[in-house]
Structure 1
Amino acid sequence: MAHINNRTRQGNRASSDNKNSRRNTEQQIAFKYSKLLKRNEDLDNLLKVILSRNSESVIYPFPLNNSAIELSPIRRNIPDTRYMDCRRITYPDVTTMPTVSVVIIFHDEPLQLILRNIHSILDKSPPALILEIILVDDNSTLEYLKDDLDLYVSFLPNVKVIHNQKREGLIKSRMTGARSASGDVLVFFDAHMECNIQWLEPLLTILMEEPTAILQPRIDIISDQTLEYYSMNTGIDIRGGFSWDLRYSSFKVPLQFKPSDKTGHFWTPVLMGNAIAVRRLHFFRIGGFYEDLKIWGGEHFDLSFRNWLCSGHVYTVPCSRVGHLFKKYAGYSFDGDRVEVIIRNLMKVAEIWLEEYKNIFYRVTIAATPKMPKLTKHDNKSIAERIQLKQTLKCRPFQWYLDNVFPDQIFPHRDALVFGEISHWGSQRCLEVHGDIVGYTKECNIHSILPQNTFTFTKNNKFLYKEKCVYIDDTDYELRVGTCNKTARVVDGVWKFPSPVKEGIIHFEADDKRYFCVNMTDGTGVVEERAGPIATPCSSSGSGCTVWSFMYRFADI
């Protein structure tokens, strides 16, 4: 017994020595960093020199406000967007926390955005925790992202740059950075991120308790026009999911998955992909990023599905806040057709993970894609290897994920022609059911999936809301929902959606040979006077009727 106690005391002394050593290291790093940042004015001057001698590179090939980029300081104060309860949390001593390698990929990114990202990491993180920041330049063409960037970061602690000799894409470049990292935890950032106060400690605390988890911070927004940093604190918790064309989509957190308070982390079926934290050993044990996905697209689905089905959980952490600048479109080349590259990536993800549900993906994607790419022999070999990895990791079937992680996913009817949200882009409204009446709502977005907005038009001309039928009331000609065998107060006839695409008129041919269209108004032109759409008389061709847009159209395969 004494022997055990002696070993315990020795262990405690060793633990204490390790903590003291870690604290000394932290103090040394903090001193080194503060000493460097005393030359902050010199760094500002250096940046001015770099920009002035690269004047052609100052006009960025992106849909961004160049003046805002130039005028916004590299190191700036941003609002603390955390919930008040998050600010009261006491986290473990940083000397007990794992070290971190931050991996940032860029290709022809504005230099100021990259530097703001780096400085925000250094400014908003305990110095001892940031073992290294690894920048991977994916063969940029802008000159100031070569030697000038190397020169600037040489004045910052623990920052290094890897320059790809050819274009590799985001996914392979992230793996290049990960393989060169030595921190306990990997954090993958897009280049245009900005960290908020105490962003790191909530992530590391969870990874200390659950080393097989993969995490994402709560993402704030950086305006692409003003660079203003702000939060979408609407009071509604949102988690990531997917639409059936494998597009990242937002879903309200179902009641059974809500944390007990606002500070709690919660399950998210799919990572957004712009900010990811994961234990390095766990990341490589489950296969890292799938490197045969080219350039960009699909990697966050693949990693999310793999962790859920083969290893652990995926969480959103609301007390960790990081801003992301959402560009309207990619400002860089894809070394090929952008749409084809992304769709081919998503086809691989579907083949590996969706199992019996992959036909839904193909039916939606084929209908929306004029020229569908074909998988090559190399693609099929690569897919087979990843399926073998699933078997090695003893992954669960995809049905388990849908039943347990993502039960709020909405499934189309087998005979669906068009499906999903029905929107009118001119008024930015979509259809929503209130009681038994089809009304309007402005809470609609093709990437924000809301079950109460989901309708179906079938091949046999049924207009459905969930399992109920939509019909025209024969007294006020409003649209209502009811059982499909309902006859009272119903205009008898057949619904038609004559368009060959997902946009078109919603037409109705009555048994008495009258024709109706579902229109925004009753002819007054004032939408606000009505709570919902109305069926109005029209010609057999439906000319002049309101054009609606469904979320998906389905192809026959």
Structure 2
Amino acid sequence: MPRNRLLLPKLFLVLPVLWLFVVFYVATVIQFNNDLSPEETSKYKQGYKNNAFNQFASDMISIHRTLPEVPDEECRSEKYSDDLPNTSVIVCFHNEAWSVLLRTVHSILERTPENLLKEIVLVDDFSELKHLKEPLARYMSQFPKVKIVRLEKREGLIRARLRGAAVADGQVLTYLDSHCECTEGRFTKFLAAPISRISVIDCIAVFLLSVPGPLWIGKNQKMISISDHIEPSLPRNLS
């Protein structure tokens, strides 16, 4: 199915016109001037109020945009086994913005080898927004590997992840935020990691929605937990 014919409800685009599917296709920073109309300014401010990131800019960027090549030189020549385990990617969300959630899902579908991706499990932690109800179910019905789990009350991140794990069928469970993008080849590298490294979490490259617009600043960081990258007002101790 051509990308510009996907069942993306126009209701959830800032400017529901076809050029939005092709403009901003490559990762870039969007800068705004002072020429926004009153309606656009209202949407810009409301997006920040609802999400604490620039939803206005996200809604203007293709959900299929390309990303920079980020692997280190030694990774480019790395040879991986043909017998890697598959993975269930579990994405928990609550009242997530439409364009951001779709971009997360498409980055997984479009940049993960078919044999390695068992499924994507979307866990709706009792969202209230209408676009995350029937419209989301209708849109995701296009993709056989995507399933949606609805929680009947707000459970929080940990319980939501456990519910996702309970229905997952993959050999490896991968947890991603609902507002990130994975890059080409990252799941292959992640799934090829030795079992002895299971205590180390390999953070798939993350793109951050920051001022003034969606900005690519992350790559393959190894960390135990992932937090929002909001620059502190005081200098950080890097020791």
Fold conserved between structures, TM > 0.5: yes
**2: CA distance, partners of 1:152 / 1:129:** 23
Correspondence list, 1:123-522, <5 A: 123-207=110-194, 209-210=195-196, 212-217=198-203, 219-225=205-211, 226-231=213-218, 240=223, 271-273=224-226, 326=228, 328=230, 444-445=235-236, 448-450=237-239
Give the secondary-structure state (helix, strand or coil) at the position aligned to 1:71. Answer: coil
Deviation of the 1:202 alpha carbon: 1.2
In structure 1, list runs of 5 or more residues that go unmatched.
1-37, 241-270, 275-325, 330-424, 429-443, 451-557
Deviation for aligned residue 1:40: 2.0
CA distance 1:327–1:205, change in 2 (3 Å): closer
* CA–CA separation in structure 1 for the residues paired with 2:197 and 2:11: 45
Greater shift in the superposed pair: 80-89 or 98-107 = 80-89
2:21 corresponds in structure 1 to none
TM-aligned CA deviation for residue 217 of structure 1: 2.6
Distance 2:74 2:163 in 1: 38
What do you get for the CA RMSD once the two structures are aligned? 2.9
- SS of match in other structure, 2:9: helix
Give yes or no for contact 2:165–2:173 (8 Å, CA) kept in 1: yes
In structure 2, the residue matched to 1:121 is 108
Give distance in 1, aligned partners of 2:55 and 2:2: 26
Counterpart-to-counterpart distance in 1, 2:43 and 2:144 = 26
Partner of 2:68: 79
Sort the Cα spacing of 1:221 and 1:75 in 2 relative to 1 into closer, same or farther, 3 A.
closer
Other-structure match for 2:56? 67
Deviations 1:484-507 (A, max 9, x none): xxxxxxxxxxxxxxxxxxxxxxxx
**What is the CA-CA distance between 1:118 and the residue it aligns to?**
0.7
1:90 partner letter: K
Which secondary structure state, in structure 1, belongs to the residue aligned with residue 152 of structure 2?
Answer: coil
The answer (yes or no) to whether the contact 1:57–1:144 under 8 Å persists in 2 is no
Asked if the contact 1:105–1:190 (Cα under 8 Å) also holds between the matched residues in 2, the reply is yes
Contact 1:222/1:229 (8 A) holds in 2: yes
Over 3 Å counting, the alpha-carbon distance change for 1:449 and 1:196 in structure 2 is same
Give how far 1:66 is off: 3.0
CA contact (8 A) 1:101 1:184 kept: yes
Distance 2:153 2:121 in 1: 18
Q: What code does the residue aligned with 2:165 have? A: A
Cα distance in 2 for partners of 1:162, 1:232 equals 29
CA distance in 2, matches of 1:210, 1:97: 15
Structure holding more strand per residue: 1
In the alignment, is residue 47 of structure 1 matched against residue 34 of structure 2?
no
Percent identity over the alignment is 30
**Structure index of larger Rg:** 1
Q: By how many angstroms is 1:117 displaced?
A: 0.7
Distance, in Å, in 2 between the alignment partners of 1:97 and 1:232 is: 22
Paired letter, 1:222: L
For residues 367-423 of structure 1, give each alpha carbon's deviation from its aligned partner in whole angstroms, at most 9, with x where no partner exists: xxxxxxxxxxxxxxxxxxxxxxxxxxxxxxxxxxxxxxxxxxxxxxxxxxxxxxxxx
The answer on whether the counterparts of 1:114 and 1:192 sit within 8 Å (CA) in structure 2 is: yes
Give the Å deviation of 1:47: 3.1
Q: Relative to 1, partners in 2 of residues 1:40 and 1:87: Cα closer, same or farther, differing over 3 Å?
A: same
CA contact (8 A) 1:131 1:183 kept: yes
Corresponding position of 1:477: none
> Could you tell me how far apart the structure 1 residues matched to 2:219 and 2:92 are?
26
Distance 1:187 1:149 in 2: 22
Change in Cα spacing, 1:188 to 1:127, as seen in structure 2 (3 Å) is same
Task: Work out the CA distance in 2 between the residues paired with 1:70 and 1:102.
Answer: 24
The CA deviation at 1:92 is 1.1
| Aligned AA (2:214) | L
Q: Is the contact made by 1:79 and 1:230 (CA closer than 8 Å) also made in structure 2?
A: no
Q: Structure 1 counterpart of 2:203, which letter? A: P
Compared CA separation, residues 218 and 108, structure 1 to 2 (3 A): closer
Residues of 1 paired with 2:187 and 2:122: CA distance?
Answer: 19
Distance apart, 1:231 and its partner CA? 3.8
Partner deviation per Cα, 1:166-199 (whole Å, 9 max, x = no partner): 1000000000000000110000111111001100
2: distance between equivalents of 1:92 and 1:155?
31
Distance, in Å, in 2 between the alignment partners of 1:48 and 1:327 is 30
Cα distance in 2 for partners of 1:62, 1:178 equals 26
Give the secondary-structure state (helix, strand or coil) at the position aligned to 1:134. strand
Residue 110 (structure 1) aligned with residue 63 (structure 2): no
| One-letter identity of the residue aligned with 2:69 | D
Give how far 1:230 is off: 2.8
Aligned residues: 208
Conserved in 1, the CA contact under 8 Å of 2:116 and 2:188?
A: no
CA distance in 1, matches of 2:89, 2:120: 5
Shift of 1:220: 4.2
Over residues 495-526 of structure 1, what are the superposed CA-to-partner deviations in whole Å (9 max), with x where a residue is unaligned? xxxxxxxxxxxxxxxxxxxxxxxxxxxxxxxx
